[in-house]
Amino acid sequence: MNENQESIRDNKRLEQLAITSWEMEVHQQKLSKIDGSGVMSLRSHRGLQNEVERVRGVAKASRSRIKIDENSDEAILLIHGSTGSPSDLTQLTNYLSDKGFTVYSMLLPDHGIESDVFPTTRWKTCLHEVQTRYKILSQAVPRVHVVGFSFGASLAIHLADKTKPASLTLLAPALHPKVSAFTRLMLTLGVHHLPMMRRWFGWNLEVLEAMEKARRKVGKLRMPIYGAHCADDQRIDASSLRHLQRKARHRANRFRLFPDGGHMILQAHGRNGLNREILEFINGGKKGRN
């Protein structure tokens, strides 16, 4: 089979998958009333999503990961960073799954194919996909928690502003980026929204815009928030954590600033206690998952 025939075959497969996904979405609300149908639909979605990402050329290690616990009434949606993939959250995904949660570590659009190429999608497209995955989970289980890393934390804030998840965990939350004095001036003046500047900034502008708009929404959030950051993060300023502490008001909020660890906070501190702290926060003091 030549490349053209293979491309045609893959396009037809993607079209069939899109139709199947649409049909599932149309009937999802009816199915959710049938006992056990939520898990069944989630299993079907997992198979479809894996096939879509395979056809698009996403490496297996970078694909979405959906770990289903049929006995769990709680799920966790994990959202990776601006140029990463679910592989960045593997350790936490496995840990939370082992503790009895249904866990969905999603792949953002236009990510996971070439690590050295920036995405070309819009941040609002990423948010739409996050909202879709959240809806799929919330139709399968009663309570959904959201964990976001870096840019994924900004998306989690946008999601929470509309959907009200059970809790938010924001790791290296991308609210105040470390940028050059010139970029900071452009952002302050607002000229980065001009078409010429959008072409120049590209994907970086999408990320910066998502951060800017997420900062304004923190004070509106009414669910418990756990925020963790490293003081020596090279990409996101620790003032992002202080912004959360100052603006978010829930009495169950918890915040943690590590002195070191860089931007990849889970790799630095996950196994050394951060994973456990996230679990304890999500449990909200409940026993049984420790």
Nearest to 155, CA basis, from 120, 131, 179, 190: 131
The predicted pLDDT at position 287 comes to 45
Nearest residue to 137 (alpha-carbon basis) of 203, 66, 208, 200: 66
Q: What are the sequence ranges of the domains in the chain?
A: 65-283
The predicted pLDDT at position 113 comes to: 75
pLDDT of residue 185: 72
Q: What is the pLDDT of residue 44?
A: 87
DSSP 29-40: HHHTTSTTHHHH
pLDDT band at 33 (very low <50, low <70, confident <90, very high): very low
**pLDDT level of residue 288 (50, 70, 90 thresholds):** very low
Tens digit of pLDDT for each residue in 145-169? 999 999 999 999 999 999 999 999 9
Residues near 279 by Cβ (< 8 Å), separated by ≥ 6? 95, 96, 99, 289, 290
Question: Do the beta carbons of residue 89 and residue 59 sit within 8 Å?
Answer: no
pTM of the prediction? 0.85
Rounded CA-CA distance 123/189 in Å is 21
Rounded to an integer, the average pLDDT of 180-194 is 70
Indicate whether 16 pLDDT > 70: no
DSSP states of 127-151:
HHHHHHHHHHHHHHSSEEEEEEETH
Over residues 254-274, the mean pLDDT reads 97
Above 80 in pLDDT, residue 183? no
Name the band, by pLDDT with cuts 50, 70 and 90, for residue 197: low
Tokens of 160: 């929470």
**pLDDT score recorded for residue 67:** 97
Sheet with 225-230, edge to edge strand ranges: 65-67, 102-106, 74-79, 143-149, 168-171, 225-230, 254-258
Percentage of residues in the chain having pLDDT higher than 90: 62
What is the CATH code of the structural domain delimited by 65-283? Answer: 3.40.50.1820
Q: Residue 209 has what pLDDT? A: 86
In angstroms, the CA 177 to CA 125 distance is 21
Across 78-82, average pLDDT:
96
Condensed to tens digits (0 to 9), the pLDDT of residues 44-62 reads: 899 889 988 998 889 999 9
Is pLDDT larger for residue 112 or for residue 172?
A: 172
Q: Is 143 exposed, middle or buried (0-12, 13-18, 19+ CB in 10 A)?
A: middle
